[in-house]
Amino acid sequence: KGGDLPTIDPLRIVAKEMKFLTGNIRKLLGSGHPSLDRAAKYYTQAEGKHVRPLIVLLMSRATSLCPKAPQRQQATVQASAAIDTSISPLSILSDFNPSAGAETEPVLADADILPSQRRLAEITELIHTASLLHDDVIDHSVARRGAPSANLEFGNKMAVLAGDFLLGRASVALARLRHAEVIELLATVIANLVEGEFMQLKNTARDETNPRWSEDTLTYYLQKTYLKTASLISKSCRAAALLGGADAQTVDAAYSYGRNLGLAFQLVDDMLDYTRSEKELGKPAGADLELGLATAPLLFAWKTMPELGGLVGRKFANDGDVARARDLVMQSDGIQQTRALAEDYAEKAIASLSLFPDSEAKDGLVEMAVKTLQRKK
């Protein structure tokens, strides 16, 4: 792009909120049990991209300028209540301080991001990180965010339990928002993540005798992709708009943005798995084929290269299968087609924002869609 346009940095628009994100998350994860405390906070040490909280904060700011719903359900603001992480003498349970929920924070007149929306941003990162802890166990992954994975560092049992602990703390923080619809949305996300992972483990819809096998296989893949990645982004965008009291049209637009961005994001992720190295990604590259997974680049390649069918059928398990499948995908236009589909979704995400009044935050959301296509890790 031309150099005369000022570049928009989405991070700068919500820099103040992002600055406290990791610290606040670590406070939510405090446990009086030292090794649980360490395992739970482990993935907060390395700098993640914090894509989901960034989107939630930008969406909160962008929708603050949109029309409000008639009966505005203001979340009672208990989001920043302190937590007690001490160990009681009789048990190693640490808990949120129950009396802390009664505190309310004064709402600043000019604040366009509410404390409840800030807390929502933290909750999305907690749910995402919990899913990564479990994912790395399922995928036998040895690296995450440029460091040894939690399962390698602490073992599978502790990594799984740490993930469960994150979900528990995310649930408490969510309940404290006192907004039933938002609680329902994020609880559904947790179920969707598991459903997406199940769809991935039990790959179906690849029956080549079915005349529609190719379309059905792609539909199955996209549904799985919605559940495993786009559900969290779309429903947390919806929740951000709801917490701000936005009207129904705005809430739907926020959801549509998140859904399309989430799909674009995972398509790019599946493309990078073919095109980037472990060093560039900070996690193993080429992992999908090794795990027996057929993602978009391969599904597109398969249409013109029937040999892939046999390899997919046995999940690339024989010697040389992974290398052969990779060669075939790289010879095909599967990567280009995946990129083209990601571009379609990114465009749809941007189009979803058309009714939002112009603002820096809206520009930031547009830039997030552009950056999603450009990212290299």
Q: State the residues that interact with ligand FPP by CB under 6 A.
A: 127, 130-131, 134-135, 138-139, 141, 163, 167, 190, 193-194, 197, 228-229, 283, 287
**Cβ atoms within 10 Å of 89's Cβ, excluding its own:** 5
**Nearest distance in Å: CB 48, ligand FPP:** 11
**Nearest distance in Å: CB 201, Mg ion:** 9
**Closer CB to Mg ion, 140 or 375, in the complex:** 140
CB 129 within 8 Å of CB 144:
no
Residues that bind Mg ion (CB under 5 A): 135, 139
The token duo for 198 is 């199940």
**Nearest distance in Å: CB 131, ligand FPP:** 4
**Closer CB to ligand FPP, 36 or 127, in the complex:** 127
**Nearest distance in Å: CB 130, ligand FPP:** 4
Binding partner selected for residue 134 from Mg ion, ligand FPP, none, CB under the kind-specific 5 to 8 Å limit? ligand FPP
CB 39 within 8 Å of CB 154:
yes
Binding partner selected for residue 163 from Mg ion, ligand FPP, none, CB under the kind-specific 5 to 8 Å limit? ligand FPP
Binding partner selected for residue 194 from ligand FPP, Mg ion, none, CB under the kind-specific 5 to 8 Å limit? ligand FPP
The alpha carbon of 296 is separated from its chain's Cα centroid by a whole number of angstroms, namely: 18
Binding partner selected for residue 190 from ligand FPP, Mg ion, none, CB under the kind-specific 5 to 8 Å limit? ligand FPP
- With left for phi above 0 and alpha for psi between -120 and 50, is residue 245 left, alpha or beta? left
C-alpha angle 255-56-99 in degrees, rounded to nearest 5 = 115
Q: How far is CA 179 from CA 9, 75, 187, in A?
A: 31, 6, 12
**Cβ atoms within 10 Å of 109's Cβ, excluding its own:** 5
**Nearest distance in Å: CB 139, Mg ion:** 4
**Closer CB to ligand FPP, 190 or 353, in the complex:** 190
Q: What is the dihedral of CA 279, 280, 281, 282, to 10 degrees?
A: 40
CB 305 within 8 Å of CB 315:
no
**Closer CB to ligand FPP, 141 or 250, in the complex:** 141
**Closer CB to ligand FPP, 227 or 369, in the complex:** 227
**Nearest distance in Å: CB 228, ligand FPP:** 5
The alpha carbon of 323 is separated from its chain's Cα centroid by a whole number of angstroms, namely: 30
Residue nearest Mg ion by beta-carbon distance: 139
CB 329 within 8 Å of CB 274:
yes
Binding partner selected for residue 127 from ligand FPP, Mg ion, none, CB under the kind-specific 5 to 8 Å limit? ligand FPP
**Closer CB to ligand FPP, 54 or 366, in the complex:** 54
**Nearest distance in Å: CB 282, Mg ion:** 12
**Closer CB to Mg ion, 78 or 225, in the complex:** 225
The token duo for 76 is 């009672």
CA-nearest of 176, 161, 139, 172 to 286 is 139
